[in-house]
Amino acid sequence: MQEKEKGLNRRQFIKWSVGAVGLAAALTTPLLPVINQARSAGSSPETPAKEAPAQPDKKKRAWCMIIDLKKCEGCVTIGAPPQCTMACINGHFTPKGQQWIQVFQVELSNGGKFFMPTPCYQCENAPCVNVCPVAATYHNEDGLVLIDHDRCIGCRFCMAACPYQRRFFNWTVPELPPEAAFAEYSPLYPVPARKGTVIKCMFCGHLLHDGKLPLCVAGCPMKALYMGDFDSDMATNGAEVVPLRQFLKENDAYRYKEALGTQPRVWYLPGHGQAFGRTTDDPREFKTPVWSWGGDGFEPRPGIWPWGKEIK
Amino acid sequence: MRTRAESYEQRLERVVLNPLSQTTRGYKLFVLSLLAVVGWGLYAYYIQLRYGLGATGMRDVVMWGLYLVNFVFFIGISHAGTLISAILRVTQAGWRTPVTRMAELITVVAISIGALMPLIDLGRPERVWELIAFGRFQSPLLWDIVSITSYLTGSLIYLYLPTIPDFALMRDRLGYYANPVKRLIYTVLAVGWRGTPEQHRRLEKAIGIMAITIIPIAISVHTVVSYVFSMTLRPGWNSTVFGIYFVIGAIFSGIASILIVMAIFRKFYHLEEYLTERHFRNLGYLMLVALFIYLYLTFGEYLTVAYKMQVEEKHLLETLFVGSNALWFWFFVIAGLVIPALIIILRKGPVIPRMVIAAVLINIAMWIKRFAIVIPSLQVPLMPFDFGAYYPTWVEWSITAGAFAGFILIFAIFAKLVPLISIWEVAEGARETPQPRVATLVEQSGMKPEEIEALLSKAVAEKGRSRVEQ
Ligand code: SF4
Ligand code: SF4
Ligand code: SF4
């Protein structure tokens, strides 16, 4: 018995050390290159004098996202589906029909409309975390709301509890492109999606500590999305770095359905794409996202017996 | 008097035990057809296991469906039993004795079937053990698990205790010429019951304790079932009234189910003598009380919401009152509240058919009401998009049918193993009652029990009046 345990430990030790070497290799690549780049470009005059810590990968963070609706024009200018959604779909192989960041067209009382991209809000008082019976949904130390897909029993109580409908369920085995199979699963990077479990946006937690921006933030051609960290009080959209709290204050930031008390970590800066000349009655058509690998998603419903249509 | 009482007891035994010793062809056919339906439900579940929940009509927006509706419905029915028989026992309503056994049986069977429903609903049923291993008490689902298992355990004990003397009776009567297995079972179940006064005293005490403990458990069960819904920020669910609303709804549909079961067994097992019109009438009045409380709560619930008209609540009311769910909602109001109330109040026609019609209507309407609680709240868009759609597939309907068939099947099998009427309690009741029993009168006059019941109640009323006049 003793022997066996030792053997196991040795094996684990080898595994870990290999992993550690790999991790160290990954970490030697420049950290927070985007923020540093942006800072060296000196695009923001308000850049705080104090430098960001040298080893941000180890540091606890308080991530948040800022969505500047003044700049979001639903990608109608480039006549394409919303690029944030497309970046997320292609980067995470999200099953067809799941838009982890979905761009809603919100009607205004004056008859016009504006666009509202909605990722999971990573609520601080998250109803979905509260109700999960097996702690499959949890807060990590950076404040992200993650899902452990090895734990989730698929009760969908969290979906009932989420007041923003930001959770999705893998109703059957999802149709994914072949390359999805090579992805290495972690709750921070839930790829490939698994049948019978709940899935959602996780703020691209797998990229943040490597100093990379979330795919949707990087993918937005209008630079309307910012990733921020309350601990270092900075946010960036990849082109500029802004002092987070001041930026929120100066731009009348609000959170969606603030009154519910869920305390989302996503702030909106009110607007309707005016930064790119869009008016609220802009007639240009919004394009819905497409899945390059095709398939029916979870759409087909089973036929009457005898089994009408095979669902894949 | 003494000989009469004895012959009454003998006949009681014969009538009640008869179904246990004889099995008709009709019964076998009935059980076979139920088995077929259950088998079909199992096949549907196999399909669902194989393809995942995609085989159902549930999707991301309406992510709960028929299974949750059935869950609430069955747990609701389960209140029939224990709660009602316990309340009646605690308040010493003498007329309850022939009814209690059936009511308790409904509880045990309904709660078992009901508890299966959320498990069928899981996307990963093979991980169900995690609920025990990693269960978090912050989740209302865990509250459900705890209170449903304690309710099931409590109800089993509460069903078993008053059955001990009857098991002993069967051990002495049936086991004699039946096969040894049967005898062994009854002997074990009778736990050495000899009917001594000491044993009686202890049994009564144990039953008394259980009757009181079971009431808070029963109430907690439906309260926490409602919490699964009311702990969320959804229109219609986000309500403080849900706990009591569900409890009353459960009692309401519970009484209705007892009435149906009573009527069925009365007819097929020839229990006319023991399940009299009085039982139906009294239970009917109890049901009427529950109906009015439920009506009141429904009214209050929707009025307070409709007065304020918050956006999401407004959407909900639109779909309920005039939109795609209006048919269900108004069916519930008319067939579940208005018509049954009229049937019970107006007292036109014979009691038993009236009560049974009301009870059947109520049970159908209450299932639909649960549908109207669960589904429309999920259809209401919480983000700027359209209403969600939900069309249950054949898989869900089949599993639902299988669950109902399973409920009836277990009940039918139980009815073969356990006397449906508590023989010793009814006999005791007969011994304690000084007036001539209906039973002896039936024997003497050859009239129908209903007629005698009517005559008796008239006589009692007159007696009461003359006493008042004196
Ligand atoms: S938006 Fe919904 S899924 Fe995301 S953290 Fe909040 S409650 Fe949970
Ligand atoms: S579906 Fe999964 S993550 Fe959601 S509450 Fe159930 S177990 Fe938790
Ligand atoms: S943060 Fe990442 S996971 Fe979330 S919507 Fe953006 S790309 Fe998708």
Q: How would residue A54 be classed by pLDDT, with cut points 50, 70 and 90?
A: very low
DSSP letter string, A203-268: TTHHHHTTTPPPHHHHH-TT--EEEEETTTTEEE-SS-EEEHHHHHHHTT-B-TTGGG----SEEE
Which domains does chain B carry?
A: 32-233+241-436 (1.20.1630.10)
| Cβ proximity of A101 and A88 under 8 Å | yes
Cα A159 to Cα A132, A189, B16, B232, distances in angstroms? 10, 20, 51, 10
Asked if residue A211 belongs to a domain, the reply is yes
Among A64, A186, A203, say which to mutate for ligand 3: greatest number of ligand atoms within 8 Å of CB. Answer: A203
CA distance linking residue B284 with residue B343, whole number of Å: 10
Asked if residue A100 belongs to a domain, the reply is yes
Phi-psi region of A215 (alpha: psi -120 to 50; beta: other; left: phi over 0): alpha
Residues whose CB falls within 8 Å of the CB of residue A115, separated by 6 or more in sequence, listed in order: A69, A72, A73, A74, A82, A103, A104, A105, A106, A272, A273, A286
Q: Does B386 touch chain A (CB under 8 A)?
A: no
Q: What radius of gyration do chain B's Cα atoms show? A: 24
In 3D, which of A175, A177, A213 has the Cα closest to residue A312? A175
Cβ within 8 Å, pair A133-B385: no
Pairing of the two strands A63-68 and A266-269? parallel
Q: Does B296 touch chain A (CB under 8 A)?
A: no
Decide which of A38 and A235 is more confident. A235
| Cβ proximity of B399 and B55 under 8 Å | no
Q: What is the dihedral of CA B17, B156, B216, B369, to 10 degrees?
A: -80
Cβ within 8 Å, pair B134-A301: no
Asked if residue A206 belongs to a domain, the reply is yes
In 3D, which of B421, B427, B426, B412 has the Cα closest to residue B17? B421
Task: Please report where in the chains the tokens 């008319």 appear, as a residue.
Answer: B334
Does the CB atom of residue A160 touch ligand 2 within 6 A? no
Does the CB atom of residue A127 touch ligand 1 within 6 A? yes
Asked if residue A255 belongs to a domain, the reply is yes
> CB B239: neighbour CB atoms within 10 A?
17
Asked if residue A4 belongs to a domain, the reply is no
Nearest CA residue ID for atom 7, ligand 1: A162
- Whether the CA torsion A167, A173, A179, A185 is positive or negative: it is positive
Chain A residue at shortest CA distance from B68: A155
Residues whose CB falls within 8 Å of the CB of residue B89, separated by 6 or more in sequence, listed in order: B96, B100, B207, B208, B211
Does the CB atom of residue A31 touch ligand 1 within 6 A? no
Cite the DSSP H helix spans in A77-186. Answer: 83-92, 127-131, 157-161
Say which CATH number the domain at A132 has: 3.30.70.20
Tokens describing residue B458: 């008239």
Cβ within 8 Å, pair A133-B141: yes
Task: Please report where in the chains the tokens 């459900």 appear, as a residue.
Answer: B144
Decide which of A116 and A2 is more confident. A116
Q: How would residue A30 be classed by pLDDT, with cut points 50, 70 and 90?
A: very low
Residue B305's pLDDT is what? 92
Does the CB atom of residue A162 touch ligand 1 within 6 A? yes
What residues of chain B lie within 8 A of the CB of A133, using their CB? 131, 135-136, 139, 141-142
Q: Which of A113, A156, A201, A258 to mutate to test the interface with B (most CBs of B within 10 A)?
A: A156
Residues whose CB falls within 8 Å of the CB of residue A174, separated by 6 or more in sequence, listed in order: A95, A96, A192, A193, A195, A298
Per the prediction, chain B carries an average pLDDT of 86
Q: Does B11 touch chain A (CB under 8 A)?
A: no
Domain with A140 in it: 63-276
Residue A33's pLDDT is what? 42
Q: Does B468 touch chain A (CB under 8 A)?
A: no
Asked if residue A8 belongs to a domain, the reply is no
Q: What radius of gyration do chain A's Cα atoms show? A: 21
What residues of chain A lie within 8 A of the CB of B53, using their CB? 154, 169, 171-172, 196
Global ipTM: 0.84
Residue count (chain A): 312
| Cβ proximity of A143 and A124 under 8 Å | yes
Nearest to B55 among A168, A198, A302 (CB): A302
Q: How would residue B34 be classed by pLDDT, with cut points 50, 70 and 90?
A: very high
- Whether the CA torsion B283, B287, B288, B290 is positive or negative: it is positive
Residue B444's pLDDT is what? 64
Q: How would residue B89 be classed by pLDDT, with cut points 50, 70 and 90?
A: confident
Per-residue model confidence as pLDDT tens digits over B102-117: 888 889 999 999 999 9
Q: How would residue A218 be classed by pLDDT, with cut points 50, 70 and 90?
A: very high
CA distance linking residue A287 with residue A311, whole number of Å: 28
Residue A305's pLDDT is what? 58
Q: Which atom of ligand 3 lies at the shortest distance from residue A91's CA? A: 7
Tokens describing residue A64: 């948040």
Q: What is the dihedral of CA A209, A210, A213, A216, to 10 degrees?
A: -90
| Cβ proximity of B298 and B143 under 8 Å | no
Asked if residue A37 belongs to a domain, the reply is no
- Checking if the pLDDT of B193 tops 50, the result is yes
Residue B14's pLDDT is what? 77
φ/ψ of B239, rounded to 5, equals -150, 140
Cβ within 8 Å, pair B393-A163: no
Which ligand sits nearest to residue A89's alpha carbon?
Answer: 3
Q: Does B333 touch chain A (CB under 8 A)?
A: no
Average pLDDT of the residues in B25-51: 92
Cβ within 8 Å, pair B139-A157: yes
Long-range contacts, stretch A28-34, CB < 8 angstroms, 24+ apart: A29/A210, A30/A211, A31/A55, A31/A56, A31/A57, A31/A210, A31/A211, A32/A56, A32/A211, A33/A211, A33/A212, A34/A211, A34/A212, A34/A213, A34/A236, A34/A238
Q: How would residue B437 be classed by pLDDT, with cut points 50, 70 and 90?
A: low
Residue A300's pLDDT is what? 66
CA distance linking residue B81 with residue B89, whole number of Å: 12
Task: Please report where in the chains the tokens 């799941």 appear, as a residue.
Answer: A98
- Whether the CA torsion B50, B52, B53, B59 is positive or negative: it is negative
Chain A residue at shortest CA distance from B394: A304
The number of domains in chain A is 1
- Checking if the pLDDT of A18 tops 50, the result is no
Q: Is B174 exposed, middle or buried (0-12, 13-18, 19+ CB in 10 A)?
A: middle
Asked if residue A51 belongs to a domain, the reply is no
Per-residue model confidence as pLDDT tens digits over A156-181: 999 999 999 999 999 988 989 988 88
Is A47 strand, coil or helix? coil
Which ligand sits nearest to residue A150's alpha carbon?
Answer: 2
Decide which of B349 and A227 is more confident. A227
Q: How would residue B457 be classed by pLDDT, with cut points 50, 70 and 90?
A: low
Q: How would residue B439 be classed by pLDDT, with cut points 50, 70 and 90?
A: low
